[in-house]
Amino acid sequence: MRRILLTLMVWAAASTCAAAEEVVTVQTRTGVTLAYLLVHDPSTSPRVVVISFVGGEGAVNLVKRSADHPPSFGPAANFLVRIRNQMTDADTADAIVDSPSDKLPQGMTDDFRLGADHLADIRALLADLGRRFPNTKIYLMGHSRGTVSAAALAAKLGPEVQGVILASTITKQDKQGRALSTFDFKTIKIPVLLVHHREDGCTPNPYYNVERLSKSFALISVRGGDPPQSGPCDSQSPHGYFGRDAAVVQAIKNWMLGRDFAREIG
C-alpha cells in the first residue's frame, strides 16, 4: 500500500514521555485517502497501538488543520482528542482517525461507519500501522458516535485486532441515524471493554443499556467529575468524563495491558 507523504512532527509534553504527533495520510480505496494523527514516543516500541474513532460525524479535518501549522484543538475537542497525550506512553501509541477524503468536510453517517468502505479504509490504516509497529497489539476505541465504528469494525475484523473499547456507547437511534440500536453485540468475538458515566445526560447514550451489556462484557462505571462546561452530548460534561480524564485513561490502559483495572471511578 503506497503511503502518501504527509508528515508533520510536533513535540508535546506528556505525563510520562515526549509525545510526537504525526499526521499521516494513507491511500485506501480508489481515489480516496485517509488521514490519522499518530501520537507516540519515538524513543520506544509500544506494546499497544489504539485506533481511536471520535464522536459526532468523525470529521477531524487533520489535513486542513496541519496545512500551515501543527494541528491544534480547542478545549471543546472530543474526549479522545483531549486525552491523546495521556493515552501515550512507553507502552501505548494512539492513532486518531479522521473521516476519509470522500466524506469531508461533512463527516461520516452511521450507515457509512457500519459499511464496507469504512472497513476497507481501516484495513489500509492497519497495514500502515503494521509496517510501523510490527508485532504490536492493536485495539479499537470509540467514543459516543465513534462507538458505531469501533463496534462494527470489531465484529468484522475479529482476530486482526486484539480488543475494543466502547466509551459512552450510543445505543439508541436519534435524528442523526440508527447508531447501534439494532447492532448485535454478540457478533464481537474479541475482548470488549465498556466505559460509561453513570450520569451521562446525552439521550441516545443511556447508562442502563450499557449496564445490560455488562452481563457479557467488562464495564468501567464513572461518577462525578468537574462541573459541566458544555451541553450534555459534548465533551466537557459527564458524557466526555470531564474532570475524570486521568483515572479513565489509566483504567483503559491497564485493561489493554492485562493489568488489574478500576471498575468504578469516582
Q: Which CATH number do you get for residue 244? A: 3.40.50.1820
Number of separate domains in the chain: 1
Q: Which domain holds residue 228?
A: 3-265
Query: What is the rounded distance in angstroms from the CA atom of residue 58 to the CA atom of residue 105?
Result: 10
CA dist., res. 250 & res. 151, Å (int): 22
Along the 266 residues of the chain, how does pLDDT read in single tens digits? 333 333 333 333 333 456 799 999 999 999 999 999 999 999 999 999 999 999 999 999 998 877 656 677 887 889 999 999 999 999 999 999 999 999 999 999 999 999 999 999 999 999 999 999 999 999 999 999 999 999 999 999 999 999 999 999 999 999 999 999 999 999 999 999 999 999 999 999 999 999 999 999 999 999 999 999 999 999 999 999 999 999 999 999 999 999 999 999 99
pTM, to two decimals: 0.91
- The count of other CB atoms within 10 Å of the CB of residue 72 is 9
The Cα-based distances of 231 to 75, 179, 197, 206 in angstroms read 14, 20, 15, 15
Integer CA distances (angstroms), 84 to 15, 93, 182, in order: 11, 9, 30
Triad 240, 205, 65: Cα angle to 5°:
45
Q: Supply 264's cell numbers.
A: 468504578
